[in-house]
Amino acid sequence: MSSSPLKRRGDILNWMTLTATLLLAMGASASAAPSAAPTAAPEAAAPIDSSWIDKAPEPPVAKRAGISIPRSAGILKLTKVQAYDTAGLDNVAQYASADEAISGTVFIYYPSLADTGLTFLATDETIRRRLGASTHIAEDKLVAVGGVAEAGRRVIYAGASEGTRSTAATIVRAGGWIIKIRVSGPASRAAEIAAALDGLSAGMTFGRNNPVKAHVIRTEDCAGKTEPDAPILKPAGGEVAALLALAVGETRDEKGRALEDVLGRVPDRLCLVRSGGEGPVELTYKVPGKTPGIYAPRLFHLVGDAGFIVEATASAKTPRNVMLLRHRIGGLDAYGLLRGSPSLAQVENVVDQDENMPLLARAMAEPEGGSRVELGCTHLKEGCKP
């Protein structure tokens, strides 16, 4: 047990560090790079940064995920591979056709809440806003990825950019990782775009972080009034740690292979409260009715399409005590605790990391499996006592 200072908006908070391997661990273990047939000569290989393994002429592998990507798919050739962070939890690969008219991108990232249903909702809204009101779904189906039936949600869009563009996407969860594949180009080459999309997903290998069946969420508009501000409680550290243990990571079987969300973390049905945001897309969904299982989720607020989600959730044993979780790539922040569901203003306070919403704890992903949880003493009932 140790303590360290954390400075936020001018305040110094004392923190206790609790290191533990949780039952629902954030397992981001890398696996050995699978072999594959050469697709390009070594001299044609794209530049690889330190978050990737390059065994040219074999496919590059995202080190932390153990997931490989193809060097080519149909008309597309790999042009660049890089990471957005230094921890290797946010990776991107870029592709282009020889005439550069068609481009493709593969994102491989590790959010603290990996769900294909929520990822689709955020991605779909982002695509529609960027490409205009005429953009619509022409085809939407579940496809096999990595030998797992219905692991990928494959969506083809038509009418983009006033009918001049075609774009397509496939979303997959593999272990605790989200893989998002996008291909775009002229509307006249829609068939080539769809073929390239399928080639990229078919050319990937996953190792230990196997794909799982895609989660599909039905949505509708919400009825009724929005919630007022909920009272803020001062919880015990044990209650915070217990809720985080429920909230963090993905489940695996006895052989270490990832399982789909058997605990029902994210419901199959949500209702839309609000759609807004002048910058990134912001979508607020409520959970209508009660959900079975050990979770009692209340709300999901999606910001952008890269894993930034505010979740309001509780344990089924104490459903009145609601914790706000600020999910991001590589970890999460816990706020609250609230007596009841949050107002939209309280959700925005979490998005903005406003000082009026007390920060209770943080959990960070460990690449070898497990999580490190830091409890914030300032807002706990027992303060900084062990």
Burial of 87 (0-12, 13-18, 19+ CB in 10 A): middle
Helices (runs of H) and strands (runs of E) counted in the chain: 5, 22
- Residue 255: partners with Cβ closer than 8 Å, 6 or more residues away: none
The separation between the first and the last C-alpha atoms of the chain, rounded to the nearest angstrom, is 8
Identify the DSSP state of 367.
T
Strands 218-221 and 269-276, bridge-based pairing = parallel
Please check whether residue 154 is in contact with residue 143, taking contact to mean a CB–CB distance below 8 angstroms: yes
Q: What is the pLDDT of residue 375?
A: 79
Q: What is the pLDDT of residue 300?
A: 96
Coil, strand or helix: which one is 122?
helix
Q: How many residues does the chain have?
A: 386
Q: What angle do CA 243, 247, 252 make, to 5 degrees?
A: 130
Query: Of 240, 235, 321, nearest to 18 (Cα)?
Result: 240
In this structure, the dihedral spanned by the alpha carbons of residues 296, 309, 124 and 63, taken in order and rounded to 10 degrees, is: -110
The superfamily (CATH) of domain 42-202 is: Mog1/PsbP, alpha/beta/alpha sandwich (3.40.1000.10)
- Residue 362: partners with Cβ closer than 8 Å, 6 or more residues away: 331, 332, 333, 334, 373, 374, 376
Return averaged pLDDT per consecutive 10 residues of the chain, 386 residues in all. Answer: 30 31 30 33 58 87 94 96 90 97 97 94 95 95 96 96 96 94 97 97 93 95 87 86 68 66 77 85 91 81 95 85 91 91 94 90 71 79 69
Q: What is the pLDDT of residue 234?
A: 87
Q: Long-range contacts of range 132-135, CB-CB < 8 Å, 24 or more positions apart?
A: 132/159, 132/160, 132/161, 132/162, 134/159, 134/160, 134/162, 134/163, 135/159, 135/160, 135/161, 135/167
Edge-to-edge strand ranges of the sheet holding 269-276: 2-8, 11-20, 371-376, 359-365, 331-339, 321-328, 308-313, 299-303, 282-286, 269-276, 218-221
Domain-wise residue ranges, the chain: 2-27+217-379, 42-202
- Two tokens at 84? 């957005």
Q: What angle do CA 77, 208, 265 make, to 5 degrees?
A: 105
